[in-house]
Structure 1
């Protein structure tokens, strides 16, 4: 599957549709610099990407890489109709067998934080509702004929909806069973971050053993539930330090840290400075 780090989101470039007769061949290309999305609605395209065979039958799609050669593996055996679309991203992307723990470097300025996240798309898959995907591709093609900035903006919005639909239709969200459990655990921790972490209570609510929840979070986010909770508490503390005049001791209490010394240690470890120094960096004057 492909992993795209967003933002920025992948962006649409151009698209159309084509029909090959029996015996027809797809053009051979090499390192074209864009992702090539192909959705077959009738017949079958027999493709090869850098030596790897990829058969795209009716109701299936495939995404060919921008940095690899691809060509016809064998001519079409029957009349074959397909939609094609070129897209690209200026963000990071990679190919992997399954979802991997994702983390980005902390932003240096809390007012400039951007929420980065990974977006996953299987490289090729059967679609549950190919007619819906084909309809969106036709809409994109019609919008491409409209040159105004307004329609270019609408076109990119529709393309993002197409990517999300592809992920849903291909079952991409269910590829890794542990991912759903990890996300449910993360939601639980964010909801209860002011309370002491009780593994038994979390396990009862999620209906999984605490050890299994910890394994899932480690695989999905690269950290244990306690580490995830601590990071979230620190982020809440940063906002309170900047946006309120609350005493640091009260902020420690309000963000779920049981003791002031423990809060100071954790904050210094994650933020690189003590809470008071962090606050003074973004406040002209402060009394604690």
Structure 2
């Protein structure tokens, strides 16, 4: 096993003890960190302000989450990542891994045998967990760091107790987030859809929509696609084309002007979108509908 990852089922097969590699408080101001990685799992907890954590998602793509006060990310070992702070962000960071169990305190395996939520977390490999903290994780993290400072960072019984408590609290938050995640995602998706229906007539970007619902664009796109089966762009395009069909059918607005009414700045691009959506050009669609009305009358 890679001895830095907490998302590793091997921790449940043999006795290992956690080990702290680094810990610190840090105030970041307008900082763009270079991509880096380390053989340890990292907790990045936002105490004040906000930041973005980006990481290599493979296949030449990046993933990212936005963290605000009271949120934290548990980032797996050996994942290339970086921190981006546009304004200011105060953070508490702890990096830890695992080593052969030396006794004197329950091993990770023994803790997992007693706490089902922790066992589930360890056995479910992911790149990261992003969670909202009701202050329980922060107080445990803070107590752990202060205790490590008192002991010169060498660890001890209380350190291991606090770290084990931290694991259990995080795993329980993970379970709660999974239970509530669909409802939360549904709320953000509904807000996004409402925004799209109110603003389809002007040029809007994914960043505009994400800013409206206060989510990172990448995260919003993932939950929107999962809930609707469409990307944000596909959805707003469908809204625009349906509005265009309605205008072509029920108004005398010139075809050349329809694109302006549905937020597509380029007439040529609008015609291409409409043809792809309906298999007819806007002119053909209006004529076919007029012909159909005459036949029905």
User: Does the alignment reach a TM-score above 0.5?
Assistant: no
Shorter-chain TM-score category?
A: 0.3 to 0.5
TM-score by length of 2: 0.43
TM-score by length of 1: 0.44
